[in-house]
Amino acid sequence: MEKQIGLGIVGYGGFGEFTAQAYASMPQVRIVAITDVDAARRGSAAELYHARAYEDLTALLADPEVDIVAINTPPWLHASQAMAAAEAGKHIFLEKPLAVELDDADTLLVKLKERRVHLTIDYVLRHVPVYETLLKVTNSGLLGAVTYMRLENVASNEALHDQHWFWQRSRSGGIFIEHGVHFFDLCNQISGARPVHVSGAAHLGPNGRQDRVMAAVTYANGTLANFYHAFDRPAILEQTVLRVVLERGSIVVSGWIPDHLELEGTVPAEQRDQLESLLGVALTIRDIPAPVGITGATPGQLVQATLNRADRNADYVEAVTRGMADFVTQIQQPHYTPLVTLQDAYESFRLAFLAQRSIDDGCSLEIC
């Protein structure tokens, strides 16, 4: 077994605590250092994990046992803290987003190359079982090519008071950058092509806040996509739905950490076993008569399947650990290609940034 890699945690708020619990269960890493603005919080965390508590990032980066820095701080700190970590020769496991400004992201990429350190974004959705299954099916071509995607994410604003940094564009970057990058990254992978055009729009809520945003994206292979994010409702009404339309069917996935998938389409009889194997559940076959009133319409068979996950929180924890494990493998094996590459992280951030720029400028943008 490879030697455990030393992990330094930057930010031990709610999400930092959640991820630390996941990392502590991993044989590949050992939490050796923690810093947080709250002295009591960092002290208790350090005691819990038998780690060293540091007053600030500079002190933590000077610790020779820290190999990876896990950054869990608010968005406006990400680029500068990642730059400092890179300058110190530390690898970086960064919570989204990569940055708030595109220029900062560009500068960071130069520094990473110069210092020869690795960085990835903790895109947990890439590691959850339902989305892994979705990608297997879309990549298989059994339902044809992906033609359209629609993401609807309606979230709560109950914890977001008027002065919360979430509403301050200079600190969060806006909804697309702070939150939407998860789904830009996921849909970039589903499409199998790079985005070439984006058009954004927004609704202004109380105090001029952008509380609803949407973007239409065109990919180089002709795939079309719509993204809608809203933070404007009670938590009991939160809902996330991704619909993927293919040439011979559709797949609908539900949940922020998804626990439900529904598939419907037409698949030749000789390929149904392959589809069942990818899904891990049995197909239902329905005989469908020719639709009345449509010239040339013919009868056929529809295949349907439903996939449910029993424990969403367990899937979330596993996704965090799998993301870190993949990153560790990248560090230990020079020729290994991680699931989320630095280019993936950059492209999803750039798309989010340009979607917001399209809103600000009031025009569609071509993406070079």
Residues 6+ apart with CB under 8 A from 313: 257
Phi, psi (degrees; rounded to nearest 5) at 162: -55, -30
Q: Report the distance separating Cα 195 and Cα 293, nearest Å.
A: 38
User: In a structure prediction context, what are the per-residue pLDDT tens digits for the chain, which is 368 residues long?
Assistant: 568 999 999 999 999 999 999 999 999 999 999 999 999 999 999 999 999 999 999 999 999 999 999 999 999 999 999 999 999 999 999 999 999 999 999 999 999 999 999 999 999 999 999 999 999 999 999 999 999 999 999 999 999 988 899 999 999 999 999 999 999 999 999 999 999 999 999 999 878 899 999 999 999 999 999 999 999 999 999 999 999 999 999 999 999 999 999 999 999 999 999 999 999 999 999 998 988 888 888 888 999 999 999 999 999 999 999 999 999 999 999 899 999 999 999 999 999 999 999 999 999 999 98
CATH class, range 5-123: alpha beta
Length of the chain: 368
What count of other Cβ atoms lies within 10 Å of the Cβ of residue 25? Answer: 11
* Helix, strand or coil, per DSSP, at residue 46: helix
Domain 126-316+351-361 has CATH 3.40.50.720: no
Identify which of 347, 94, 316 has the alpha carbon closest to the alpha carbon of residue 217: 347
Q: So where are the chain's domains?
A: 5-123, 126-316+351-361
pTM of the model as a whole: 0.95
Q: Report the distance separating Cα 280 and Cα 306, nearest Å.
A: 10
